Chains A and B, each alone.
Chain A
């Protein structure tokens, strides 16, 4: 508990510093905020008109498709808010500045994963949650389905965290990679819509191998009462396995750090 409080305090200080830096550039903050809102709005409009033309998508109603999209955004935006530092990690490796992180008496993974919370994403989280609750309520889930949705959403965050740890590890192993975190974003963006729209074997690949389906589609399906017991058990199993593999990979990557340029 004492350790948890210590890390919470460190996270708070790091986040506060990060916020101050961003807020000091008000024009930049405004532009990025507007850009993110417009991007969200355009995809929403796109979905709206597609559903207006086709009525359903892979058997899902308009409200259900929008709920899938909002669930994707919840996981995507909160991950970006918490893990923004991952996007700045590669220069740290290339310059050898990661040395300064390693010598400090805190977990190096904690520092590079959670060291720079993003205020722009924080601003967009409350309206997103309100929209998700609104469209979720239209699906009329019962109490158990809501609880299951929240538990699977948490499981989705565990998988998202595992993904970010793998990206960090790959940055240590191959300093060449600039686009790795964006590849993660592109893969997860395939979950903006239910994975049922993809053909096999891509659907299987997205459900189990790169578990975008488990991260995003399954929580939303749970709220719709369309999930089997096997689906629930395997989702949590995949979440735990993903985190276990990511942490082992990180420990392996640390042993390969060469402290280049330092």
Chain B
């Protein structure tokens, strides 16, 4: 346990080695939020407007909720596993007395902690500047389910990153391509980071909700907003847990197969 605590500390300090780089990364997040915020703010310009089941305060809370949930779920370093495999650096870790997945999960947690601190500061600053209407969830039960859904989302995202990175075992030139297609394009759109999934027609919603992606952002934020309650909320949690299980098995299966074909190219 102590060695992972050291990895956590080193990873945390590593982020500060390139301070300007990190700050610019956060600036990028703010720009993305600004586009979404002003777009929805314009759509809900009239205070009484209700579209897709959202009023102004709920949709703007959704946008602000993305900022925090994204920092918790999608701040991760495990995508670098792909380049470890492609460049043969994986061999260094396989020889060390650490569990490779735990090593990356610890680095992810460190990245999440740092990004959460910055996202919280941005949240407060943007809140003061933009003064949006905000929906405050006060039901303790709902808040507990919200936190459980965040924990499941963290695991789902971690497993997705490793599964996608593992494809590099068979196609080393694809180390970045796989992440571009799945963890950037698909996750960005289908997780609810770009738009709430329930603006889509019902059949499209059903298809998207059957994938693991909406359980990364959309589902936790909807639980917070009280848009998903009762059986639907518990059902959603069960689907998220099922996806976490399926992805965990897939990750281990693909990783074991991948290690058999790994040639440590470049070492």
Interface residues in chain A, defined as those with a beta carbon under 8 Å from any beta carbon in chain B: 25, 27-28, 31-32, 34-35, 38-39, 42-43, 45-46, 49-50, 53-54, 57-58, 174, 176-180, 182-183, 186-187, 189-190, 192-193, 197-199, 202
Within the complex, the shortest CB–CB distance from A201 to chain B, in Å, comes to 11
**B31 & A28 in contact (Cβ 8 Å cutoff):** no
Q: Given A25-B173, A38-B186, A57-B42: A178 and B21 within 8 A (CB)?
A: yes
Chain B residues 1-51 with CB under 8 Å of chain A are: 18-21, 24-25, 27-28, 31-32, 34-35, 38-39, 41-43, 49, 51
Closest residue to A178 on the B side, CB-wise? B21
In the complex, which residues of chain B have a beta carbon less than 8 angstroms from the beta carbon of A34?
181
Contact of A28 among B32, B174, B184 (CB under 8 A): B174
Complex Cα gap A214–B198 (Å)? 34
B245 at the interface (CB under 8 A from A): no
Complex Cα gap A25–B175 (Å)? 12
**B177 & A42 in contact (Cβ 8 Å cutoff):** no
Contact of B31 among A46, A178, A189 (CB under 8 A): A189
Contact of B52 among A39, A53, A186 (CB under 8 A): A53
Complex Cα gap A180–B24 (Å)? 7
Closest residue to B46 on the A side, CB-wise? A54
**A53 & B199 in contact (Cβ 8 Å cutoff):** yes
**A176 & B189 in contact (Cβ 8 Å cutoff):** no
B65 at the interface (CB under 8 A from A): no
Q: Given A39-B189, A176-B20, A186-B28: A57 and B43 within 8 A (CB)?
A: yes
Contacts beyond the supplied A38-B189, A53-B199: 9 A-B pairs with Cβ under 8 Å = A27-B173, A27-B177, A34-B181, A35-B177, A39-B185, A45-B200, A46-B199, A177-B24, A189-B31
B178 at the interface (CB under 8 A from A): yes
**B185 & A54 in contact (Cβ 8 Å cutoff):** no
In the complex, which residues of chain A have a beta carbon less than 8 angstroms from the beta carbon of B52?
53
**B199 & A50 in contact (Cβ 8 Å cutoff):** yes
In the complex, which residues of chain B have a beta carbon less than 8 angstroms from the beta carbon of A182?
28
Q: Given A35-B185, A197-B38: A28 and B177 within 8 A (CB)?
A: yes
Closest residue to B17 on the A side, CB-wise? A176
**B180 & A32 in contact (Cβ 8 Å cutoff):** yes
Within the complex, the shortest CB–CB distance from B241 to chain A, in Å, comes to 27
Contact of A54 among B43, B171, B200 (CB under 8 A): B43
B262 at the interface (CB under 8 A from A): no
In the complex, which residues of chain B have a beta carbon less than 8 angstroms from the beta carbon of A46?
189, 194-195, 199
In the complex, which residues of chain A have a beta carbon less than 8 angstroms from the beta carbon of B184?
35
In the complex, which residues of chain A have a beta carbon less than 8 angstroms from the beta carbon of B200?
45, 49
In the complex, which residues of chain B have a beta carbon less than 8 angstroms from the beta carbon of A58?
42
Complex Cα gap A122–B239 (Å)? 41
Complex Cα gap A154–B177 (Å)? 32
**A193 & B39 in contact (Cβ 8 Å cutoff):** yes
In the complex, which residues of chain A have a beta carbon less than 8 angstroms from the beta carbon of B188?
39, 42
Q: Given A39-B189, A176-B21: A183 and B28 within 8 A (CB)?
A: yes
Chain B residues 68-94 with CB under 8 Å of chain A are: none
Complex Cα gap A197–B36 (Å)? 11
In the complex, which residues of chain A have a beta carbon less than 8 angstroms from the beta carbon of B181?
31-32, 34-35, 38
**A197 & B42 in contact (Cβ 8 Å cutoff):** yes
Q: Given A35-B180, A202-B34: A179 and B195 within 8 A (CB)?
A: no
Complex Cα gap A35–B59 (Å)? 28
**A50 & B178 in contact (Cβ 8 Å cutoff):** no
Within the complex, the shortest CB–CB distance from B170 to chain A, in Å, comes to 10
9 contacts between A and B (CB under 8 A): A31-B181, A32-B180, A38-B189, A39-B185, A49-B195, A179-B24, A187-B31, A192-B35, A199-B38
Complex Cα gap A54–B54 (Å)? 12
Complex Cα gap A187–B171 (Å)? 34
Complex Cα gap A46–B177 (Å)? 24
**A50 & B39 in contact (Cβ 8 Å cutoff):** yes
Complex Cα gap A45–B207 (Å)? 15
In the complex, which residues of chain A have a beta carbon less than 8 angstroms from the beta carbon of B32?
186, 189
**Chain B, 191-234, contact with A by CB distance < 8 Å: what is the 0/1 string?**
00011000110000000000000000000000000000000000
**A186 & B31 in contact (Cβ 8 Å cutoff):** yes
Closest residue to B43 on the A side, CB-wise? A54
Q: Given A27-B177, A183-B28: A43 and B194 within 8 A (CB)?
A: yes
Question: Which 10 residue pairs of A and B lie closest in terms of their CB atoms, listed nearest first?
Answer: A42-B189, A186-B31, A179-B24, A31-B177, A53-B51, A197-B42, A35-B181, A35-B185, A46-B195, A54-B43
Complex Cα gap A126–B13 (Å)? 47
Closest residue to B24 on the A side, CB-wise? A179
**A190 & B34 in contact (Cβ 8 Å cutoff):** yes
